Chains A and B, each alone.
Chain A
Amino acid sequence: MGDDANITDEDVRHVAELARVDVSDDEVERFTSQFADVLEYYEQLSDVPTVDEDDNLHNIMRPDEARECLSQDEATQNATTDEDGFFEGPSVADE
């Protein structure tokens, strides 16, 4: 991919595939032109100065502590589950 903001409908389809979102031909056409406008608007970021920021960050990581949480039923209540209460997903195999 190049350095210019010339986005093509191939780029839009590629990104849609990365994001796992189907797009219709109409949408691809519309998005290609809208994205070109937006990316052109983003070009002005290229002359933003680099700022040296003081990182006032504290590492708060700690070992896991098991506690009471949602039951399996509660956590799966919006989904289809199998007889063991596991989430059912689509087929893994490639067609």
Chain B
Amino acid sequence: MTDLNTFITDESIAPTDDGPLSGSSVAVKDNISTEGVRTTCGSAMLADYVPPYDATVVKRLRAAGATIAGKTNMDEFGMGTTTETSAFGPTKNPVDTDYVPGGSSGGSAAAVAAGEVDYALGSDTGGSVRCPAAFCGVVGLKPTYGLVSRYGLIAYANSLEQIGPIAPTAKAAGELLDVIAGVDEHDQTTRPAAADASYADAGDDPTMDLEIGVPTELLDGADEQVVDQFWATINALEDAGASYHEVSMPSIEKAVAAYYVIAMSEASSNLARFDGVRYGPDTDSNGNWNDVFSDVREDGFGEEVKRRILLGTYATSAGYHDKYYAKAQDARAWVRREFDRALDDADVLASPTMPVLPFELGEGIDDPMKMYLADANTTPVNLADVPAVSVPAGTAEGLPVGLQLVGPSYSEELLLSAAAGVENTLD
């Protein structure tokens, strides 16, 4: 297999104990801190940064017997949909190496799809676990906000993101989720879920006893081949015992705009710490704090990151806060409410994970708005704080298509069971 450039740092980290993951390998996205092993976030800013501590999820993986296989490639600081904004070069899609693997957790998804590792961790702020899972033909799950600790996850947009499992099957995704989920005193945004949840068991217990809601706004504007493959999948699920109905959720049309305003605003704040003092590249600048900071940040950040920091600064600045940031929060509340209502009448909601097929490498990178619009199907879920899983649902033009299933808060067992049901039905 040609070099896919899945790893930024190819360094093994040993387990600390035996457990359910003994003998297995887990790739970890490079925005998740690993003690003593470089953690770059795909950025020149952190090219030499070595964390002095393990993220909680890494600690739990090692205590469960897993070997960490290395740190995977990603869009810089999580900002991207194709893994092309990485300072370490793009990752190739193992299904067809002329195409992107998706992003921002492209390295993790590609490593799983190529069989380089048994499992991988990604992070999902606006779709960054589900998108690459869909584009690479594997399973990816974004947990409910608060299920998995973010301690040690280098923040991009901390009200939106979650670490999630990427794996070959729903059952394997469940095995990984069992190990990483649960309250952490280091992350006060974690909440106790069903303490008795067993995600591996759920992934091993397929169901088609489902009432599926299909939000029509998530099909509008999607590529024809993606929509055709989606309906072919829904029809197969119907034959296998599920039923579906359509539901209109007009707030979804505001989701991409609301997501980007909120994410960019939080990013401008979260990335303010990168000033070259406690970590970061050296600079030749001899000026005062402002000169040096501005120079280091110019050097260390790639173009997409700069774009988002500046737009985030603009959206929260005096005179613009009410117009952009406050309205985005209103949109977020509206999206949440519509998801709650839609899930009153359905077990799960279903849509294509992505409205497009994987891009060719280099196709989208000069057009920021085109990239942002590709997040139309995934961002509403992050705004609503609910969980969603992407499960492989066939191909179109030889490229993988993902089915996204969305559930109410803390319904990961149901989602994994449904995903397993989809796997069985399509087999």
Binds A, one of B96-104, B286-294, B348-356, B414-422: B286-294
Binds A, one of B218-226, B303-311, B390-398: B303-311
CB-defined contacts of A50 to chain B, threshold 8 Å: 330
Instruction: Tell whether A78 pairs with B48 under 8 Å between CB atoms, given A3-B323, A45-B327, A51-B330.
Output: yes
Q: Are B277 and A79 in contact (CB under 8 A)?
A: yes
Contacting residue for A15 out of B314, B331, B333, CB 8 A: B314
Interface residue A64 (Cβ < 8 Å from any Cβ of B): no
Q: Are B52 and A77 in contact (CB under 8 A)?
A: yes
Q: Are A95 and B294 in contact (CB under 8 A)?
A: no
Shortest CB–CB separation between residue A24 and chain B, in angstroms?
8
Q: Are A51 and B333 in contact (CB under 8 A)?
A: yes
Shortest CB–CB separation between residue B185 and chain A, in angstroms?
10
Shortest CB–CB separation between residue A13 and chain B, in angstroms?
10
Interface residue A66 (Cβ < 8 Å from any Cβ of B): no
Q: Beta-carbon contacts of A63-95 to B below 8 Å, as 1s and 0s? A: 000000010001111110000000111111111
CB-defined contacts of A37 to chain B, threshold 8 Å: 368-369
Q: Are A53 and B317 in contact (CB under 8 A)?
A: no
Q: Beta-carbon contacts of A1-36 to B below 8 Å, as 1s and 0s? A: 101000100011001111111110001000100110
Instruction: Tell whether A45 pairs with B258 under 8 Å between CB atoms, given A3-B323, A21-B301.
Output: yes
Shortest CB–CB separation between residue B77 and chain A, in angstroms?
13
Interface residue B298 (Cβ < 8 Å from any Cβ of A): yes
Q: Beta-carbon contacts of B43-82 to A below 8 Å, as 1s and 0s? A: 0000011101100000000000000000000000000000
Q: Are A15 and B317 in contact (CB under 8 A)?
A: yes
Shortest CB–CB separation between residue B51 and chain A, in angstroms?
8
Interface residue B145 (Cβ < 8 Å from any Cβ of A): no
Q: Are A38 and B260 in contact (CB under 8 A)?
A: yes
Q: Are A35 and B275 in contact (CB under 8 A)?
A: no
Shortest CB–CB separation between residue A81 and chain B, in angstroms?
10
Interface residue B231 (Cβ < 8 Å from any Cβ of A): no
Q: Are A20 and B290 in contact (CB under 8 A)?
A: yes
Give the complex CA separation of A27 and B317 in angstroms.
Answer: 21
Instruction: Tell whether A20 pairs with B327 under 8 Å between CB atoms, given A1-B319, A27-B303, A89-B289.
Output: no
Give the complex CA separation of A92 and B253 in angstroms.
Answer: 47
Q: Are A60 and B289 in contact (CB under 8 A)?
A: no
Give the complex CA separation of A53 and B323 in angstroms.
Answer: 19
CB-nearest residue of chain B relative to A35? B311
Give the complex CA separation of A31 and B258 in angstroms.
Answer: 20
Instruction: Tell whether A48 pairs with B268 under 8 Å between CB atoms, given A11-B314, A22-B298, A78-B279.
Output: no
CB-defined contacts of A7 to chain B, threshold 8 Å: 314
Contacting residue for A21 out of B285, B306, B324, CB 8 A: B306
Contacting residue for A45 out of B52, B254, B268, CB 8 A: B254
Give the complex CA separation of A50 and B256 in angstroms.
Answer: 18
Q: Are A20 and B275 in contact (CB under 8 A)?
A: yes
Give the complex CA separation of A79 and B282 in angstroms.
Answer: 10
Q: Are B52 and A19 in contact (CB under 8 A)?
A: no
Shortest CB–CB separation between residue B330 and chain A, in angstroms?
5
CB-defined contacts of A76 to chain B, threshold 8 Å: 278
Q: Beta-carbon contacts of B309-344 to A below 8 Å, as 1s and 0s? A: 111011101011001100110110110110000000
Contacting residue for B298 out of A18, A23, A51, CB 8 A: A23
CB-defined contacts of A19 to chain B, threshold 8 Å: 268, 272, 297, 309-310, 313
Q: Beta-carbon contacts of B366-382 to A below 8 Å, as 1s and 0s? A: 00110010000000000
CB-defined contacts of A49 to chain B, threshold 8 Å: 330, 334
Give the complex CA separation of A22 and B294 in angstroms.
Answer: 5
Q: Are B291 and A90 in contact (CB under 8 A)?
A: yes
Shortest CB–CB separation between residue A8 and chain B, in angstroms?
12
Shortest CB–CB separation between residue A19 and chain B, in angstroms?
4
CB-nearest residue of chain A relative to B319? A1
Shortest CB–CB separation between residue B337 and chain A, in angstroms?
6
Q: Please name 5 further chain A to chain B contacts, defined as beta carbons within 8 Å, in addition to the given A1-B320, A41-B257, sorted by A numbering.
A: A19-B310, A20-B290, A38-B368, A51-B337, A78-B278
A interface vs B, CB < 8 Å?
1, 3, 7, 11-12, 15-23, 27, 31, 34-35, 37-39, 41-42, 44-46, 48-51, 53, 60, 70, 74-79, 87-95
27 cross-chain CB contacts under 8 A: A1-B319, A3-B323, A15-B310, A15-B313, A15-B314, A15-B317, A18-B313, A19-B310, A22-B297, A23-B306, A34-B368, A42-B260, A45-B261, A45-B330, A48-B330, A49-B330, A51-B334, A77-B50, A78-B279, A88-B277, A90-B287, A90-B291, A90-B292, A90-B293, A91-B286, A92-B289, A95-B291
